[in-house]
Amino acid sequence: MLKVGVAISDITPNINGIGMLGWGKLGTNIVLGASTPLKSRAFIIKKNNKLLAFVCVEIIFCTIALKQGVVKKLNKLYPYIEITEDNLMINATHTHSAPGGHSHYLIYNITNPGFSFEVYEKYVNGVIESIVNAYKNLQDAKIYFNSGIIEPEKRVAFNRSIAAYNKNPDVEKFSFSNRHLAVDRKMSLLKITDLDNKPVGMINSFAVHCTSVHNDNYLINSDNKGYAANDFENYIKNKFMNNNFVAAFTQGACGDVSPNFQYFEGMKYCRGEYEDDFKSAKFNGLIQSDKAKEIFFDEKNQIELKDDIDYIHYYFDFSDIEVNPIFSNNLKNQRTGKATLGVSSLLGTAEGPGISPEIGFALSLLTSTSSFIEKLLSQVRVEYRKNIKMKKETHGNKLIIVEMQEHKVLGTKDLKNLIIPDKADPIIAYMRNLYETNSIGWQPWTPNILPLQIFIIDSVAIIGLPAEFTTTAGKRLKKTALSILSKRGVKKIILSCYTNGYAGYVTTFEEYQEQLYEGGTTHFGKWTLAAYQTKIAEMCYELLKPVSERRILSEEEPHYFSKKDLLKRSFILVASTP
Average model confidence (pLDDT) for the chain?
94
The CA distance from 156 to 289, in Å, is: 11
Task: Kindly state the average pLDDT of the residues 337-357.
Answer: 89
What SS3 state is found at 35?
coil
Amino acid at site 262: Q
Report the half-sphere exposure of 175 (CA within 13 A, side-chain side).
1
State residue 25's pLDDT score: 85
The residue ranking higher by pLDDT, 576 or 490, is: 490
Q: For residue 378, what pLDDT band results from cuts at 50, 70 and 90? A: low
Q: Report if residue 326 sits inside a domain.
A: no
C-alpha to C-alpha distances, 128 to 41, 57, 116, 503, nearest whole angstrom: 10, 11, 18, 24
State residue 346's pLDDT score: 87
Task: Kindly state the average pLDDT of the residues 364-373.
Answer: 72
Q: State the total domains in the chain.
A: 1
Residue range 154-206, pLDDT digits in tens: 999 999 999 999 999 999 999 999 999 999 999 999 999 999 999 999 999 99
State residue 352's pLDDT score: 87
Q: Report if residue 427 sits inside a domain.
A: no
State residue 15's pLDDT score: 93
State residue 163's pLDDT score: 97
Q: Report if residue 528 sits inside a domain.
A: no
The CA distance from 328 to 33, in Å, is: 48
Q: Report if residue 497 sits inside a domain.
A: yes
- From the number of C-beta atoms within 10 Å of its C-beta (0-12, 13-18, 19+), residue 386 rates as exposed
State residue 390's pLDDT score: 86
Residue range 529-540, pLDDT digits in tens: 999 999 999 999
The CA distance from 141 to 319, in Å, is: 42
The reported pTM is 0.96
Q: Report if residue 523 sits inside a domain.
A: no
485 phi, psi to nearest 5 deg? -70, -20
State residue 383's pLDDT score: 65
DSSP assignment of 112-126, as one string? TTSB-HHHHHHHHHH
Task: Kindly state the average pLDDT of the residues 488-498.
Answer: 98
Q: In what order do the strands lie in the sheet with 400-403?
A: 340-342, 400-403, 408-409
Q: Report if residue 355 sits inside a domain.
A: no
Q: Report if residue 271 sits inside a domain.
A: yes
Residue range 14-58, pLDDT digits in tens: 999 999 999 998 888 999 999 999 999 999 999 999 999 999 999
State residue 572's pLDDT score: 74
The CA distance from 156 to 496, in Å, is: 19
Residue range 59-95, pLDDT digits in tens: 999 999 999 999 999 999 999 999 999 999 999 999 9
State residue 348's pLDDT score: 87
**Spacing of C-alpha 121 from chain mean position:** 20
* Neighbour tally for 482: CB within 10 Å: 15
Residue range 254-299, pLDDT digits in tens: 999 999 999 999 998 999 999 999 999 999 999 999 999 999 999 9
State residue 419's pLDDT score: 86
Task: Kindly state the average pLDDT of the residues 363-390.
Answer: 71
- Dihedral over alpha carbons 285, 288, 293, 294 (to 10 degrees): 150
Amino acid at site 492: K
**Spacing of C-alpha 193 from chain mean position:** 29
Q: Is a pLDDT exceeding 50 seen at residue 577?
A: no
C-alpha to C-alpha distances, 492 to 198, 349, 462, 463, nearest whole angstrom: 24, 32, 9, 11
- From the number of C-beta atoms within 10 Å of its C-beta (0-12, 13-18, 19+), residue 3 rates as middle
Q: Is a pLDDT exceeding 70 seen at residue 542?
A: yes
Task: Kindly state the average pLDDT of the residues 440-468.
Answer: 97
Task: Report which secondary-structure segment, H or E, holds 64.
Answer: helix 64-77
Q: Provide, rounded to the nearest whole percent, the portion of the chain with pLDDT above 90.
A: 87
Which residues touch 94 (CB under 8 Å, ≥6 apart)? 22, 60, 61, 209, 210, 225, 251, 254, 468, 497, 498
State residue 575's pLDDT score: 44
State residue 101's pLDDT score: 96
Q: Report if residue 462 sits inside a domain.
A: yes
Residue 4 · residue 45 · CB < 8 Å: yes
State residue 355's pLDDT score: 76
User: Strands 460-464, 492-496: parallel, antiparallel or unpaired by DSSP?
Assistant: parallel
Preceding peptide of 113 cis, ω within 30°: yes
Buried b or exposed e, range 425-451, using 16+ CB within 10 angstroms: bbbbebbbebbeeeebbebbbbbbbbb
DSSP assignment of 491-537, as one string? -EEEEE-S-S----EE--HHHHHH--HHHHT-TT-TTHHHHHHHHHH
Q: Is a pLDDT exceeding 60 seen at residue 576?
A: no
First CA to last CA across the chain, in angstroms? Answer: 55
Domain that holds residue 481: 3-306+453-506
The residue ranking higher by pLDDT, 339 or 386, is: 339
State residue 363's pLDDT score: 76
* Neighbour tally for 69: CB within 10 Å: 20
Q: Is a pLDDT exceeding 50 seen at residue 135?
A: yes
The CA distance from 421 to 29, in Å, is: 22
Task: Kindly state the average pLDDT of the residues 368-374.
Answer: 69
What SS3 state is found at 258?
strand
**Among residues 475, 101, 525, 448, which one has the least CA distance to residue 257?**
475
